[in-house]
Amino acid sequence: MFAGMLLHQRVGRARLWLLLLCALATMFLASPLAACQRLVLGDQTLDYDGTMPNLDLPDRYYRGEGGYLTNAYNCPPGTAEFVVDVPLAGLTYVRDIAYDGNVWAAYEFSDRSPLIGMMYQVSGASPQPLHPGQRMTVDASVTNSGRMDAGVIIRYFFRGGAMESVPYRYLGAVEAWPATDPGQRLLSLISLGFTVPPVTCTLANATHTLDDVVANDLAVADSTAKPSTFDVAMNCPMANVDVTLTLTDANQPGNTGSDLAPGAGSTAGGVQVQLLRGGLPLQLGQAWSYGFSAKGQQAIPFEARYHRTAGPLVSGVITGEAVLLADYR
């Protein structure tokens, strides 16, 4: 009698435990994890193709685009995690720029382009800098309303020194989605272009006089004598101006040699003024790259000498004139 009652109690307890497990399992299956839902069906478009002044203002803000789509998502109150993918190509990181209380990762299209910084912002989270080619996550606090704004912000900055234009192009799309549902993606389509007018430098006139030479120094055809150097001063308003130079004969524009045609007042014969660059006779009418300028005045070096030409050598005065042209990019 006593043993039978004990067995009955054990069986009853086992049944109660199993029924409790079943009830817990039923409650768990009936409460799936809540996810954010897209409210705005359209995507964000960031499109800029405009003119930017060519000013020497390092890291100075010029203008911006974008912001966010209002009420892009509806999320349950608490914390929502968003994944942001930045598969943009053709941009190179330069440096960080502090602006408007944030640190912007500044990127360039080329070594003389304006700088751009991008951030992703979601309601309830601080804006986060975007790095092309990298994926990031953003944790946002969701209020009881559940409404979340989201999108890309872009800022344009002067890089410092002369800049160049950037052809208008489609960069790609920044993609963002709630970590709980990758199907709820929001795209930010980015197209950018800048027209930047070139910066010009000024060239100063230069006069150079060769030392007198005696006939014996030029006795043989093609001989040279009395070389001496001189500079042409160029002044640029800022550094990084890409300069191309061309020297032409003022008295014979089609001249492609290195000897200047005799100018007004010349009385000598069998000799001309020859111009050199880097120790070698230069070719008139042929452009060469000076490279990137410094800011302010700089010297462009040349060399001049007497050059014996065909025909009898006649004493007197020989002059030559050249025009230096500068092209800028």
Domains of the chain by range and CATH? 37-195 (2.60.40), 202-328 (2.60.40.1090)
- Which pLDDT value is given to residue 22? 35
Where do we find the tokens 């890291």? Answer: 59
As a whole number, mean pLDDT of residues 146-155 equals 96
Q: Determine contact, residues 98/154, Cβ cutoff 8 Å.
A: no
Q: pLDDT tens-digit profile of 15-69?
A: 434 333 334 333 433 334 468 999 988 999 999 999 999 999 999 999 998 888 9
C-alpha 244/C-alpha 20 separation (Å) is 86
**DSSP codes of every residue in 110-173:** STTSPEEEEEEEETTS--EE--TT-EEEEEEEE-TT-EEEEEEEEEEE--SS----EEEEEEEE
Q: pLDDT tens-digit profile of 266-286?
A: 999 999 999 999 999 999 999
pTM of the model: 0.78
